[in-house]
Structure 1
């Protein structure tokens, strides 16, 4: 065993070799615990709990952490073909990279085998498409997620202001209502994921998006420069520490009454009304992002191509965790991808953030389906931060990021 694999075992808490599962009927036993690595937010915590009890007799070690760390550790383990991870969290963006590199096991055979038992017809093809690579399915979806505007309805009403419908209105209100006690905007700019999420909104609502049809960067054109200049202005009204803030930190800023409004994931909405965590219960409301075009995402779980565990057992763990009953339980925390749950009119009545979700979904846009998107995001996000901090002019920063992006993609054979 090389040093990398040993270090990764320690990092993942998976010391000792993983054995092959022995399956008998509907019970199973694994020679070693099933190892799962995942991003962490409330809905994923619930699904992790369901995985731990999914198959009697099977121990599932669920390890949850912020997105960038989960992606980093999964990439290290999978790229080294280590057997230290069995179940892998994947989003609509990371699955492209993982599948392209041959790191995941296709799920099509198990999908056919268990489609009646788990009612897989309940998943619309539009919800499965982001998890296909070259026609094969690699992820069983657990969540749909969309960014929407979180805002303090009481504070806007007290000032006689309407919910902003355009980015220009958003900027104006953020400027007027910014104060030392409470920032006018909440901004999440930690590289890579949070930074790219926020920039994605500006780049699509103001700019022309990230790439043309040939994967040539267009984010440094005139509209792209205007988008990041607008983002830069908004950060002047943002909470302290925005440059190192990701989803957890920004959710806390809302909960602790440190910011007026900004974009955040639908999966964070319910926590605003949790009295154990929030000082603003019933004071925050939700709407579509001003100007539309917030990020649309989704995530779920895949099976490592290098796992020594029985893949049938692993599939049943993720299939059970995503059954209709569990998704109904998770509906307060997420946007369920099963049609029977998502389109249930009773949910909109029961959960007050659902109208904001449905409005945001109308114009939401996913990241480009580029397997290397997070790789190029490493330097795009840092160049954006340099522009925001005034270390580089916006045009120069985006030109530099575009050049670096082209260099990487050319090395991967994207350009003739």
Structure 2
């Protein structure tokens, strides 16, 4: 990473910028300062950031990578103030709804059509583009599909003659069976907001009726929802220390450092389990579809700020280069490729042993609700769930409080008029 995200841009020499744009074959346009990008951080996104930095000769791209919640917070601050301090913005299938609704992103449809042949953008199926549309317009070029899988210690299961759990009830039994002072039986990630929502999303969708009805009224506090979070609460008896403040990084480390036996984690973290520089359990982790299915399906990519002063063609070219066919094949060990030809390439399934579990997990995976305010509501939903799990409130009381707060928020935004 280079300089601070909100610093004033230093100028690139005019001759250098003009030469770079002439190499693009694009019209002469302003690239008088470094391109500023902000992003969530995990191994695949680090590779995409590297490709952005080298996408266009003579054009500096300042990439700032950080945990999801921090990236979302900083992007929200900059974009809500209509600042031109960001040019390329990381967005997930959920945050794009908020960003687009607020008018913070530039629609990409014309640029997508303009560069479709050059960058082979027809390889992105409509099903992969649909989550990044808001009111029919496309705002993000996908870089990954992501799905949560069951990570489990194959060696320990085999030693005990156990099979991966097919249901959450079986997961509960196995978590208790494997729990010991040496290793947690379950790896849980309940840090607000994103990680806590991910974990609760599995229980609420696998064991209950989801988050909302078709009128955006909360249903997660009904009888099934309460039973689902009761199950989560019981399983956390066998969780690793610090689970209430653990997000993706901490939970990945729990597997790598032989601290936990099984749990949900993103497909993008699978390859790191076999990295000897990071992992003490190389070859000992295996993967399966989540018990009872319906864990989170997500994806992410990059958008262009509506307030950028940079040339949109230049920015789109940087984004498209970082999501090229060649780059996605290079990154295939680190993520689930959204390009159809890459994802369905049988050679990848042979090369990467976690791919069969990815494909199995995709069959039932469930995205977050396409509600622009979902992360905003998640601020108090995840905290109420933590209060319930910690025994500070009864589960019914906690979920009723979260549902009331959610309704109050959505009422103020005109959802029930």
Is structure 2 residue 65 aligned with structure 1 residue 72?
Answer: no
Q: How many pairs align?
A: 408
2:7 corresponds, among 14, 18, 21, to 14
Q: How does 1:190-269 map to 2 (within 5 A)?
A: 190-269=191-270
1:160-217 per-residue CA deviation (whole Å, 9 max, x = no partner) reads 1111000000000001110111000000000000000000000000010000000000
2 CA distance for matches of 1:51 and 1:312? 14
2 CA distance for matches of 1:415 and 1:70? 31
2 CA distance for matches of 1:149 and 1:101? 36
User: 1:408 matched to which residue of 2?
Assistant: 409
1 CA distance for matches of 2:157 and 2:10? 57
Task: Give the SS at the match of 2:367.
Answer: coil
The Cα of 1:32 is off from its aligned counterpart by 1.1
1:204-245 per-residue CA deviation (whole Å, 9 max, x = no partner) reads 000100000000000000000011000001111000000000
The Cα of 1:13 is off from its aligned counterpart by 4.9
1:53-95 per-residue CA deviation (whole Å, 9 max, x = no partner) reads 0011100000000000000000000000011110000000000
User: 1:6 matched to which residue of 2?
Assistant: none
Is structure 2 residue 41 aligned with structure 1 residue 54?
Answer: no
Is structure 2 residue 90 aligned with structure 1 residue 95?
Answer: no
1 CA distance for matches of 2:176 and 2:278? 28
Task: Give the SS at the match of 1:298.
Answer: strand
User: 1:180 matched to which residue of 2?
Assistant: 181
Task: Give the SS at the match of 1:50.
Answer: helix
Counterpart contact for 1:150–1:287, Cα < 8 Å: yes
Counterpart contact for 1:30–1:59, Cα < 8 Å: no
1 CA distance for matches of 2:181 and 2:223? 33
1 CA distance for matches of 2:331 and 2:313? 25
The Cα of 1:335 is off from its aligned counterpart by 0.2
Is structure 2 residue 31 aligned with structure 1 residue 24?
Answer: no
Moved over 6 A (4+): 17-21
Unmatched segments (≥5 aa) in structure 1: 1-9
The Cα of 1:288 is off from its aligned counterpart by 0.3
Is structure 2 residue 301 aligned with structure 1 residue 308?
Answer: no
User: 1:115 matched to which residue of 2?
Assistant: 116
Is structure 2 residue 150 aligned with structure 1 residue 149?
Answer: yes
Counterpart contact for 1:14–1:35, Cα < 8 Å: no
The Cα of 1:11 is off from its aligned counterpart by 5.3
The Cα of 1:126 is off from its aligned counterpart by 0.2
1 CA distance for matches of 2:23 and 2:180? 63
Counterpart contact for 1:18–1:83, Cα < 8 Å: no
Q: TM-score, normalised by structure 1?
A: 0.96
1 CA distance for matches of 2:255 and 2:324? 32
Counterpart contact for 1:18–1:309, Cα < 8 Å: no
1:350-380 per-residue CA deviation (whole Å, 9 max, x = no partner) reads 0000001000000000000000000000000
2 CA distance for matches of 1:263 and 1:177? 16
Unmatched segments (≥5 aa) in structure 2: none
The Cα of 1:24 is off from its aligned counterpart by 2.4
Task: Give the SS at the match of 2:409.
Answer: helix
Counterpart contact for 1:35–1:61, Cα < 8 Å: yes
1 CA distance for matches of 2:100 and 2:4? 23
Is structure 2 residue 390 aligned with structure 1 residue 389?
Answer: yes
User: 2:347 matched to which residue of 1?
Assistant: 346
The Cα of 1:394 is off from its aligned counterpart by 0.1
Task: Give the SS at the match of 2:157.
Answer: helix
2 CA distance for matches of 1:356 and 1:14? 43
The Cα of 1:30 is off from its aligned counterpart by 2.5
Q: TM-score, normalised by structure 2?
A: 0.96
1:4-23 per-residue CA deviation (whole Å, 9 max, x = no partner) reads xxxxxx95253247889653
1:319-364 per-residue CA deviation (whole Å, 9 max, x = no partner) reads 0110100000000100000011000000000000000100000000
1 CA distance for matches of 2:193 and 2:301? 20
1 CA distance for matches of 2:177 and 2:349? 33
Q: CA RMSD in A?
A: 1.5
